[in-house]
Amino acid sequence: MKIQQIKILQLNWGQLSPIWHPLVIEIETDQKIVGYGEAGVAYSAGVSAVAHLIQELGQRIIGKNPLLINQIWQDFYEHTFWAKGGGTLFYSAISAIDIALWDIKGKTANMPIYQLLGGKITSHIHSYASHIEYGWGPFSRYVKTPHDFYRIAKRAVDDGYQTIKLDPIDQETDNTTLSSRGLLTQEQLNRAYERTAAVRQALGPNKQLILDCHANLRVESAIQLAHRLLPLKIYYFEEPVPTIDPHDYDTIADQTSIPLAVGEHLTIAKSFAPYIRQRNIGIVQPDLGTCGGFSMARQINSLALVNDINLQLHVCGSPIATAAALQFEAAMPNFLIHENHEITLKQAYRETLTKPLIAKNGVYEVSTNAGLGVELSDKARHNSEVIIVK
């Protein structure tokens, strides 16, 4: 079997901002087997750069056997120079290719990917309602008042979710985003508390509440916020500060009992290793679309597993990314919970596959079909900008 061509598709999710146009690939073989992958850059800047990186890396694997995944991965690492620097955009390109190769491997073996990873431990993947500050429904809009936070959180609870995640500081009341400079003012701390307390009220005392600050704080302000919100029983605190220096997390961990989580901004196993070795986190959150795909996620999670650290993949893209995450999580003994972003409620998201991938009462059923178990819809292809690599 040989790789014949690669299609790079920037999905057009019309009603959403251009920054929410996921980057998906199809690797086609001479035996008519097609593998799907996704780069984890559906949001913010960088999607065009990653598309060009996939184009360049893709030229290296045309004519190669897609089942030689380790060989292809090592070629990328050893012979492209920049892979040894661990850059997110570079590894997003590698990730998309790796995920697609695993999809081909599963389809060739007529097995779901979880079977190739050693078999599933669970068929039912519990998820949390992620980022309700953007809303929870078919249209996104920023939520600002405690009343609206309560209302939106209650909607997620009514949908069956036992766990909710929010960023209570991202948006100021005047439609500006939080500046990460310096300490938080008392007004900002009070506003964050009121918003989070409203979500806790909607959840009740026996469900889980996750805090995420998108790495927008400094060490001192992260400690401020952790102390202020501690009475609200936070399940864990995701990326309070940038992950450039692991020692920052040592300092925060020493000052709070709330478990910390990192991974969205990290790539290969070596970038996770200092956090895992120093035990300053309780949860690793690699993104299959940025860390290096299934191949590297296995290495990352092996480190986490032997150090009693939980796994929660970061998932924020198209249903291709969701399908990949579910396959991986089903086979991991330290899997904690799946991230179900509010983007999954949008019509464009649900029209991306031939059969929509939807959680019921906050729970996903893991596909038993070969590979990722999903196929892109004709509508998704038709509405995409396409680059072909031969």
Mean of the pLDDT values across residues 322-339?
99
Mean of the pLDDT values across residues 175-185?
76
Question: Is residue 180 very low, low, confident or very high in pLDDT (cuts 50, 70, 90)?
Answer: low
Instruction: Indicate if 57 and 158 belong to the same structural domain.
Output: no
Residue 178 clears pLDDT 80, i.e. is over it:
no
Instruction: Indicate if 58 and 119 belong to the same structural domain.
Output: no
Instruction: Indicate if 238 and 260 belong to the same structural domain.
Output: yes
Please, what sign has the CA dihedral across residues 170, 173, 179, 180? negative
What's the pLDDT at 113?
99
Enumerate the H helices of 129-285 as residue ranges: 146-158, 186-203, 219-229, 246-255, 269-278
Report pLDDT digits (tens) over 341-351.
Answer: 999 999 999 99
19 assigned to some structural domain: yes
163 assigned to some structural domain: yes
Question: Is residue 142 very low, low, confident or very high in pLDDT (cuts 50, 70, 90)?
Answer: confident
370 assigned to some structural domain: no
CATH number at residue 100: 3.30.390.10
372 assigned to some structural domain: no
Instruction: Indicate if 156 and 11 belong to the same structural domain.
Output: no
What's the pLDDT at 326?
99
Report pLDDT digits (tens) over 218-253.
Answer: 999 999 999 999 999 999 999 999 999 999 999 999
What's the pLDDT at 175?
65
Q: Which helix (H) or strand (E) holds 109?
A: helix 88-109
Mean pLDDT of the chain: 95
Question: Is residue 19 very low, low, confident or very high in pLDDT (cuts 50, 70, 90)?
Answer: low
371 assigned to some structural domain: no
248 assigned to some structural domain: yes
Instruction: Indicate if 247 and 294 belong to the same structural domain.
Output: yes
CATH number at residue 313: 3.20.20.120
Enumerate the H helices of 166-211 as residue ranges: 186-203
CA-based angle 136:16:57, to the nearest 5? Answer: 115
Report pLDDT digits (tens) over 276-303.
Answer: 999 999 999 999 999 999 999 999 999 9
Instruction: Indicate if 185 and 304 belong to the same structural domain.
Output: yes
What's the pLDDT at 81?
93
Instruction: Indicate if 7 and 66 belong to the same structural domain.
Output: yes
What's the pLDDT at 15?
57
271 assigned to some structural domain: yes
pTM, 2 dp: 0.97
Instruction: Indicate if 22 and 45 belong to the same structural domain.
Output: yes
Report pLDDT digits (tens) over 79-123.
Answer: 999 999 889 999 999 999 999 999 999 999 999 999 999 999 999
Instruction: Indicate if 308 and 237 belong to the same structural domain.
Output: yes
Structure tokens at 39: 């780069």
Instruction: Indicate if 24 and 165 belong to the same structural domain.
Output: no
Instruction: Indicate if 72 and 181 belong to the same structural domain.
Output: no
What's the pLDDT at 2?
99
Q: DSSP character for 136?
A: S
DSSP 45-103: S-HHHHHHHHHHHHHHHTTS-TT-HHHHHHHHHHHSSGGGGT-HHHHHHHHHHHHHHHH
As a whole-number percent, the residues of the chain with pLDDT over 70 amount to: 96
124 assigned to some structural domain: yes
Report pLDDT digits (tens) over 374-388.
Answer: 999 999 999 999 999
Domain of 192, in residue numbers = 115-365
Instruction: Indicate if 206 and 66 belong to the same structural domain.
Output: no
Number of domains in the chain: 2
Report pLDDT digits (tens) over 37-85.
Answer: 999 998 888 899 999 999 999 999 999 999 999 999 999 999 999 999 8
